[in-house]
Amino acid sequence: MRRPVIAGNWKMYKTANETRAFFRAFLSEVSRPTHCDILVAPPFPALPVAVECTRDFGIGIAAQNLYWEPEGAFTGEVSARMLVDAGCRAVIVGHSERRQFFGETDESVERKTKAALDSGLTPIVCVGELLSERESHLTEAVLKGQFEGGLAALTPAEFSRILIAYEPVWAIGTGRTATPEIAAEAHRYIRSLAAARFTSEHASALRILYGGSVKPENIKGLMLQKEIDGALVGGASLEPKSFAAIVNNW
């Protein structure tokens, strides 16, 4: 049995005060906080407040990015060690917005994933195809390239500690969710890549989250797919009620 994970990616939204207000409302709305792992990824400056607000509730705080060096002259960057020190448990790596707008590559995903693991953080590694790639029947080729470029160099022990988020880029922030069947098909393919590179035990233990316009209205359909082990939620994680509804409905 894979334990579900519901993760919120706040992107570049919310100050420290807004974070405090969010958790005050969210924590009173979540009815069963222990049936799944809950992670929230605020922007860097709000991390300490998020950690403080969630300490007694078993909610994990994640960062949205990291740099692989432990420290040094790298203006604007934040290391895994600093995230651990701030109280983070996890970190999103290779989100499509980082790939599209900030030049993230499969190589940087690999280095960041390793750095996160070396510091004891759980990397949430994002993969997913563009609309043009899906329309050209390249989805599997893209996923294979991202898996091999970003993850194949991990040791089996390292691989068993990561989460993968399948986020088709055409479904992110567009209101256009992949159907549960489309998502499940991609998840099955990712699992087959894990089985081929590692072992079938690694593949069946791997938790793969779906991301892309997840909302309270579509979470039930997604969770019915046994291939889907949770969700990475952007827009709908910003409102305490809608994020709590997603958690409560899983």
Task: Show which residues are catalytic.
Answer: 95, 167
Q: Which range in 21-29, 136-144, 146-154, 230-238 contacts ligand PGA by CB under 6 A?
A: 230-238
Pick between residue 79 and residue 212 the one whose CB is nearest to ligand PGA.
212
The three-state secondary structure class of 11 is coil
84: its two tokens: 């651990």
Cα dihedral angle (95, 127, 230, 212), rounded to 10 degrees?
70
Binding positions for ligand PGA, 56-95, rule CB under 6 A: none
Contact of 41 with 62, CB cutoff 8 Å: yes
Decide if residue 232 touches ligand PGA (CB under 6 A). yes
Q: From CA 140, how far away is CA 143, in angstroms rounded? A: 5
Pairing of strands 163-166, 60-63: unpaired
Q: From CA 60, how far away is CA 56, in angstroms rounded? A: 10
Pick between residue 158 and residue 239 the one whose CB is nearest to ligand PGA.
239
Decide if residue 172 touches ligand PGA (CB under 6 A). yes
Site string for ligand PGA, 4-43 (x = CB under 6 A): -----x----------------------------------
* Contacting residue, 78, 233, 244, 247, with ligand PGA by CB under 6 A: 233
58: its two tokens: 């078993």
> How many chain residues touch ligand PGA (CB under 6 A)?
13
Decide if residue 218 touches ligand PGA (CB under 6 A). no
Return the bridge partners of 38, or none.
Answer: 6
Q: Which residues bind ligand PGA (CB under 6 A)?
A: 9, 167, 172-173, 211-214, 232-236
